[in-house]
Structure 1
Amino acid sequence: MNKKPTALKIITGNPGKRPLPQNEPKPKPVAPKCPAWLPKEAKRHWKEMASKLEKLGLLTEVDGQAFADYCLCLARLEEAERDIKERGILVEGDRGKVKNPACQIAREYRSALQKWAARFGLDPQSRSGLDVAREEEGDPMDELLKAGRPHVL
């Protein structure tokens, strides 16, 4: 059975009302550095999502490998889907038309991606139980003043 992290139990209101661990490690909510070994497309996903997750406190300094796996799964899924789009669901095989192997690859990466996404609150179901602090919206007057609009006399 997978144990739910304490932070997630607190955010969801500890529905089981079981005692919470007191000495669980609490890594800093700082995005780790993107690994150099990630393929270009996976790095693009890292760059796109890491800062968003960091702001929400859902990506910490020790989550690098797990988040790299998420980004890699997403990039590989996209690659498989491109192949399906280009060659179709059925391709020529030794004995005529056969299912494109990219269909199975896409299914496997989609399944893995769904599991990784849930760990980072990236799907509606896992996000529905989270109660994270939101950034306060700026005061409209402050925004106007920051914009540096010239005064009209």
Structure 2
Amino acid sequence: MARPRKPTALHVVDGTFRADRQPRKTLTPGAKMPDAPAHVRRDLIAFTEWRRIAREFAGLGMITALDRGPLAAVCVLYGRWVRAENALAKMGERDATTHGLIIRTALGNAIQNPLVGIANRAMLMYVRMCREFGMTPAARAGIEMAPGPTDDETPAGRYF
């Protein structure tokens, strides 16, 4: 996997900023936000994340109907991560020693709680998918935005 681009702000701080190496691509605002898929609407946590992200993208005008599936994946992964973390927190309340991170098998062996693996994997996949949408500082380093719509023209108001 290629190394992620360093954000421009860090280049400036490090003194390694060079204007000739900045991205030349631009995104043109003005895309219409798609509706959330049914399986995302049924999951309150995933749908809340959909609305949060959708507001941002609709305000920037940088999402289309083609992004519906990948954006749904981001939201479902977020919901899975939050649910696993909430379940671990509940188990941790009852277990002051390991805080729910270690459980005992039927034979009495101590193993890592499977919820830890679920939470870690969902978090990892969520962050990877967020990079695809430019939702991390390093991912945004490679994006230049064309001037966006004014507040009167923004498509976000039509959806929320």
Matched, 1:30 2:41: no
Could you tell me which amino acid in structure 2 is paired with residue 13 of structure 1? Answer: R
Could you tell me which amino acid in structure 2 is paired with residue 131 of structure 1? Answer: E
> Displacement, 1:92?
2.8
Cα RMSD (Å): 2.7
C-alpha deviations, 1:67-94, integer Å up to 9, x for none? 0000000010011111221211112322
Q: Which runs of 5+ in 2 are unaligned?
A: 3-21, 92-99, 152-160
Identity %: 23
Aligned length: 118
Q: What is the DSSP-based 3-state SS (H/G/I as helix, E as strand, rest coil) of the residue aligned with 1:131?
A: coil
C-alpha deviations, 1:56-111, integer Å up to 9, x for none? 23321221111000000001001111122121111232233321101111121112
Structure 1 distance, partners of 2:37, 2:88, is 29
Matched, 1:65 2:78: no
Q: What residue number does 2:13 align with?
A: none
TM-score between the two structures when normalised by the length of structure 1: 0.67
Q: What residue number does 2:104 align with?
A: 92
TM-score between the two structures when normalised by the length of structure 2: 0.64
Q: What is the DSSP-based 3-state SS (H/G/I as helix, E as strand, rest coil) of the residue aligned with 1:122?
A: coil
> Displacement, 1:136?
6.1
Q: Does the 8 Å CA contact 1:31/1:54 hold for their aligned counterparts?
A: yes
Larger Rg belongs to? 1
Q: Which runs of 5+ in 1 are unaligned?
A: 3-10, 15-25, 138-153
Residues 122-137 of structure 1: pairs in structure 2 closer than 5 A: 122-132=135-145, 133=147
Could you tell me which amino acid in structure 1 is paired with residue 142 of structure 2? Answer: G
In terms of fraction of residues, the more helix-rich structure is 2
The answer to which structure, 1 or 2, has the higher relative contact order (CA under 8 A, 6+ apart) is 2
> Displacement, 1:29?
1.5
